[in-house]
Amino acid sequence: MDGGSTAAHAMFEADAASRGLGIELVSAGGGRAVARMEIGPAMVNGHGIAHGGYVFLLADTAFALACNSHGPVTVAAGADVEFVAPARLGDVLVATARERARWGRSGIYDVTVHRDAPDGPDGPAVVAEFRGRSRVLRDPVPRPR
Amino acid sequence: MDGGSTAAHAMFEADAASRGLGIELVSAGGGRAVARMEIGPAMVNGHGIAHGGYVFLLADTAFALACNSHGPVTVAAGADVEFVAPARLGDVLVATARERARWGRSGIYDVTVHRDAPDGPDGPAVVAEFRGRSRVLRDPVPRPR
Amino acid sequence: MDGGSTAAHAMFEADAASRGLGIELVSAGGGRAVARMEIGPAMVNGHGIAHGGYVFLLADTAFALACNSHGPVTVAAGADVEFVAPARLGDVLVATARERARWGRSGIYDVTVHRDAPDGPDGPAVVAEFRGRSRVLRDPVPRPR
Amino acid sequence: MDGGSTAAHAMFEADAASRGLGIELVSAGGGRAVARMEIGPAMVNGHGIAHGGYVFLLADTAFALACNSHGPVTVAAGADVEFVAPARLGDVLVATARERARWGRSGIYDVTVHRDAPDGPDGPAVVAEFRGRSRVLRDPVPRPR
């Protein structure tokens, strides 16, 4: 874990849901963040394929870390995800979030989720492409997601 | 659980990820599905607010049940979600999926996630609006998500 | 043109872009709107297929009329569109916008664009499914789109 | 106009709709494209603000040029757009499309539309962020959009 952003790191400390899934904060700061998660037995169906919801959740966590790396409490207003390839039991997924645009209290962040392994016969290493829409809260009281 | 769609019910039986979170299949058939989930302690942050990823996951499960209720194995190509209001520890969420359009091997399904409770001071009962894009697999071998 | 919403009708009067394309306001009021447009020679490519941008534009106009039918000046924050079938020279397209959810200053509107004709060998009558995200302006000064 | 991609350039030649609006193909090739358009009097409302549909149309043209720069006939399956700032009469808009991911017959392309001018008091130079979803046609007969 790097020391890039205190706000994002504090948010991650409070995010019991992400930590309970074994998500690791690799780095956060300057509108960027990287998070990792291993696909465990509770995340797959009977065929060993990860539920898309868990792939989304990892991307959403990286997005939240990136948009909160600036300081003010920021929430996800919405997101679009495209599932590129299935993830499987034992895969280690890495979500890399980058700020694309920021204006007023709004922002757009692109997150790519890829398998932490070289491309193989299963197809491309990219698992999902996610685009999140963020909103800085006016309310000074933190209401993190 | 109703007996509307054998394909969707078989898929749900194999979906250990959804069942492991306590998601309940309320009904599935004819391009529609309803699923329920209670927000448990593992799904929230330190402030008792549900991680958006779990809200997405419930909507995605209802979407998968609806688009597989027709029979042929169908996967999620992508989805868009808008977070309307936060969900909290103990909330029971209901996701209602309805087919909007189907053409060729593609489809669009709208899923509304609402709290199973009347509107209150916390805001509207709707928690999220989700739109999923589905794709029927050519491959006859099942590769459910 | 009905008399449902003065705000939406006034907006349409000022919308020279929509009127210049021959878009007709069929009705607007109560979070709903219907608009029509014929695909003319300037909207198609050399193969007689309408540019998707014009299909989007019609949907966006119906969306704007629906979300402004409540009164306060409201703008499009964003939208997602899925192209279901091509539109062709001479097709008359009808865009039907319906409010899906409204909370705080935000809203979601679903717009279906269909050909004003029965289903035929060219495929389904639906041309596009659009979902718009609206935002009520704080600023009392109108800044219509 | 550069000589990067014959397929994209041929497509643009046939795209009477784009050329009729004065859209200029700046470059296309290798999964990228740049297109320009000036906001003319027919594209604005009574307040001199461009209809969002025309901003989308420019982005959609750049997207189509980028995804067809590889050769096989490729169509837009759908797109998501976020409107960042209004465009005004006389603004020259530049749409820059870049391939983000490609797998099977599917692809994702990101398009940024910005004003061809330095940032000013009107806000950021970025006007819209667009993400297109493409699909290569199986049918060898061209059916460009």
Q: Check CB contact of D139 with chain A, cutoff 8 Å.
A: no
Binned at pLDDT 50, 70 and 90, residue A138 comes out as confident
- C79-114 tens-digit pLDDT: 999 999 999 999 999 999 999 999 999 999 999 999
Those residues whose C-beta lies under 8 Å from the C-beta of residue C32, and which sit 6 or more positions away, are C66, C69, C96, C97, C98, C99
Would the CB atoms of C103 and B80 count as touching at under 8 Å? no
List chain B domain ranges. 6-136
Chain D adjacent subunits, 3+ CB pairs under 8 A: A, B, C
Distance CA A102, CA D84 (A): 9
Burial of residue D118, with CB atoms counted within 10 A of its CB: 0-12 exposed, 13-18 middle, 19 or more buried: exposed
Contacts across the A-C interface (CB distance below 8 Å): 5
**Nearest in space to D133 (alpha carbons), one of C56, A96, C80:** C80
Q: Which of A80, A82, A135 to mutate to test the interface with D (most CBs of D within 10 A)?
A: A82
Concatenated DSSP letters of C3-23: -S-HHHHHHHHH-HHHHHTT-
Binned at pLDDT 50, 70 and 90, residue A121 comes out as low
| Closest CA of chain B from A66, distance in Å | 15
Would the CB atoms of B101 and C84 count as touching at under 8 Å? yes
Span D131-145, mean pLDDT?
74
Residues of A in contact with B23 (CB under 8 A): none
Smallest CA–CA distance from B133 into chain D, residue: D78
Q: Check CB contact of D79 with chain A, cutoff 8 Å.
A: no
| Closest CA of chain A from D63, distance in Å | 17
Residues of B in contact with D135 (CB under 8 A): none
| Closest CA of chain A from B122, distance in Å | 13
pLDDT at site D65: 97
Would the CB atoms of D79 and C80 count as touching at under 8 Å? yes
pLDDT at site D139: 66
**DSSP code for D51:** P
Residues of C in contact with A106 (CB under 8 A): 77
Would the CB atoms of D46 and C17 count as touching at under 8 Å? no
pLDDT at site D144: 47
Would the CB atoms of B133 and D78 count as touching at under 8 Å? yes
Buried b (16+ CB within 10 A) or exposed e, C15-44: bbbbeebebebbbbbebbbbbbbebeeebb
Would the CB atoms of B80 and C84 count as touching at under 8 Å? no
The interface pTM score, or ipTM, of the predicted complex is: 0.91
Q: Check CB contact of A77 with chain B, cutoff 8 Å.
A: yes
Chain B adjacent subunits, 3+ CB pairs under 8 A: A, C, D
| Closest CA of chain D from C67, distance in Å | 15
pLDDT at site D145: 46
Q: Which of B14, B46, B79 shows the shortest C-beta gap to A16?
A: B46
Q: pTM for the full model? A: 0.92
Q: Check CB contact of C82 with chain D, cutoff 8 Å.
A: yes
Which of C7-11, D1-5, D14-18 comes out lowest in average pLDDT? D1-5
**D28: alpha, beta or left, given left = phi > 0 and alpha = psi -120 to 50?**
beta
Would the CB atoms of C15 and D45 count as touching at under 8 Å? yes
pLDDT for D78 beyond 70: yes
> What CATH number belongs to D6-136?
3.10.129.10
